Chain A
Amino acid sequence: MAEIVVQNLRKEFGDFTAVQSSSFKIGDGEFFMLLGPSGCGKTTTLRMIAGLELPTSGEIYIDGEEVGQKPASQRDIAFVFQMFALYPHMNVRRNISYPLVSQGMARAQVAEKVAEVARILGIEDILDRPVSGLSGGDRQRVALGRAIVRNPKCFLMDEPLGALDAEFREHMAEELRALHDRMGATTVYVTHDQLEAMQMGDKIVVMNHGVIEQFGEPQDIYDKPATMFVADFIGSPSMNFLKFHGKLERGATTVELNQQTVGIPALREPFDGDVVYGVRPEHIRLSDSAGYRAEVLATEYLGTTQIVTLRTRNGEVKARIASDQPANPGETVGLEFDGATVTLFDNQTGRAIRSDLNEGVLSHG
């Protein structure tokens, strides 16, 4: 289908810069996520790829052809919005047929295409129903059908599941991903939901204030965050930040945290100043013998695991441990950190300090 390359893309609205200077490549057939909080520039980026906004500067290539200044109609893409825009007076079949009929396709061929799409989406039984009576999920399926039927080079989706409730969103996310696996079409998907991005994406771009913070595969971004913003935004509960002051040598494999020695992946660069010890909740163990002490503030039962909130000398910390391990509010316990998984950050700039763990990943960001 299509490979999309974005180079030094920039968009200003008057004095406001929505997108600074984005560069990334979307491989043919990839499910690609643009992730970030509201106002980070992800939707503006998507709209520029679609041709709904023109870039201030920079280039967009679809299959090698520079389309940055071309109108949307010449780009052969399909857009799916958060609010399913269907024609309320038409039935499902006519809604899906509409893009083909308006292109002047022969009726027999239209019927064949619509039948095929209906089968892919599992909506054959509702083709003759009016769209007004449909459930939210079916309406979104019809909207998808209308996008798929044209066989575009790529799909652009702006929070297509945002309007659905949590349980149903989970279900539609799976369905959408399965659909993508069957069709193999390049898909660019905007979301502010980190779990949705992790669950569905082959690649993720994390944006903040118009700047790309990190670009890579979901697990890499989770394990090796390039900045404190990424570490905080991805994961629930998010990464713990324990702040301390230190002078670190290249090659160091431990740091002193509140007079206790804790592990880190070997450093690839020296650092002197305010440091943040970044550790994920599942990489903290409660252990009576550990020297690093903390007070249990609260526990949250989650079935097989529980989240324990603890007070330490370096701030509040959350640990994810097995739910059958006792932890009672008010108790003092010891904490062990899985040093090999830790990321250290420069507290001033928020960027990750290079180590054996993240070497190689940071250069992508």
Chain B
Amino acid sequence: MAEVTLAGVSKRFGATVAVEDVSMTVEDGAFVVLLGPTGAGKTTTLRLISGLEAPDAGDIRIAGRSVLGETPAQRNIAMVFQQYSLYPHMTVRDNLAFPLRSPILKTPEDEVARKVGEIAEILRIGHKLDNKATALSGGEMQRVSIGRALVRKPEIFLMDEPLSSLDAKLRAELRVELKRIQSDLGATLLYVTHDQVEAMTMATRIGVLDHGRLVQFGSPREIYENPVSLYVAGRLGLPRINALPAGLFGGAPDGAKTIGLRPEHIRHGEGKPSTVVRIEHLGDQTRLHLTLEGHDIVTLTDVHSPLAPGDTVAIQPQNPLYFDAAGARIA
């Protein structure tokens, strides 16, 4: 596998800036997740790397060589899309073998059989090899389309929300599986999603995009515990971080406009009195919706909390984050 580097890459579509001055390195063997809402530039970045789009400025290097002059096929990249696109008339075996039999690779048949067997083993679909692709469940189909990417030993895997069309249970299963496959193969993987759970659980590095700009790049723990801006802080964490006027609890540093309090960073039993609006029992956690001087606050409490709407709870920040008027982190 290879290292992929973006240096000052920009891309516009007419007046719309899709990607602006993005520089980052996807290290050999890394699992990098690009996270951001619709329109942040995630998919465009993938398409620039794969060669489906050409950048207006900047350079893209794979294993040290600039690939701007290369066609998508020459770049030796494997892509997996949200919608599994399998050949419905072929068996699972033939679907997996298809990329190997392409006119460019022309792999000998005994080699094809060996590689397909190996990938089927990794993906645990060996018993389904002779089924028609259409006879598979949604999860199995997506595993086959991931398998079709894996079978080729490309320089890098690019995945565009490959799990988003699956139901919650299956998605959770495939998250663990994809991470295992990636680390077993030592594959370099760039993965695009707007799902923060996928980003946190699978990534070795997360890149947070905001309107085409890469605003932070770091490990999931760095991004969660040490966000550079209010925007980044709001991308990870469920329930979402509470953004409140900096002076609400006193003790804010100079220039602070907003105090950011994650639900678990609110101490109960001391501080300012707030009123319980609603209590949500989610099973493994209980969420408390509070109101304090007209501001809504969500925090967590004991699973079997006896609190009820109308009750008063005193709250106090613990390890708060402070942001300035532009949303940049200052403390």
Residues of A within 8 A of B (CB): 165-167, 177-178, 181, 193, 195, 198-199, 217-219, 222-223, 234-238, 280-282, 298, 300-304, 307, 309, 320, 323
Contacts and interface: CB of A to CB of B under 8 A. Distances in A.
27 contacts: A165-B38, A165-B194, A181-B278, A198-B280, A198-B282, A199-B280, A199-B282, A217-B281, A218-B281, A219-B281, A219-B304, A235-B284, A236-B168, A237-B172, A282-B284, A298-B176, A300-B175, A301-B200, A301-B201, A301-B220, A301-B221, A303-B238, A303-B262, A304-B264, A307-B201, A309-B176, A320-B284
A219 B278 contact: no
Nearest to A329: B183
B200 A302 contact: yes
A227 B201 CA distance: 30
A235 B264 contact: no
Given A167-B37, A280-B284, A298-B176, 8 more contacts: A193-B168, A198-B280, A218-B281, A219-B304, A236-B168, A236-B172, A300-B200, A303-B237
A198 B281 contact: yes
Interface string B28-41: 00000000011000
A18 to B, nearest CB: 21
A167 B194 contact: yes
Contacts of B283: 198, 218-219, 222-223, 234-235, 280
A235 B283 CA distance: 7
Nearest to B265: A304
Contacts, number: 71
Nearest to B37: A167
Interface in B194-242: 194-195, 197, 200-202, 220-221, 224, 236-238
A301 B37 CA distance: 21
Nearest to A217: B281
A323 B224 CA distance: 12
Interface in B161-182: 168-169, 172, 175-176, 179-180
B201 A302 contact: yes
A303 B284 contact: no
Interface centre among A165, A281, A304 (most CB of B within 10 A): A304
Contacts of A323: 221
B303 interface: yes
Nearest to B263: A304
Interface string B242-286: 000000000000000000001010000000000000101111101
A300 B176 contact: yes
A201 to B, nearest CB: 10
Given A167-B37, A300-B176, A304-B264, A222 B281 contact: yes
A218 B168 CA distance: 19
Contacts of A280: 283-284
A217 B224 CA distance: 33
A167 B199 CA distance: 14
Contacts of A320: 284
A307 B197 CA distance: 11
Contacts of A199: 280, 282
Nearest to A173: B280
Contact of B282 (A195, A237, A300, A302): A195
A309 to B, nearest CB: 6
A204 to B, nearest CB: 11
B180 A298 contact: yes
A335 to B, nearest CB: 17
B203 to A, nearest CB: 9
A218 B197 CA distance: 23
A281 B284 CA distance: 9
A31 to B, nearest CB: 11
B201 A300 contact: yes
A282 B304 CA distance: 14
Contacts of B282: 195, 198-199, 218, 222
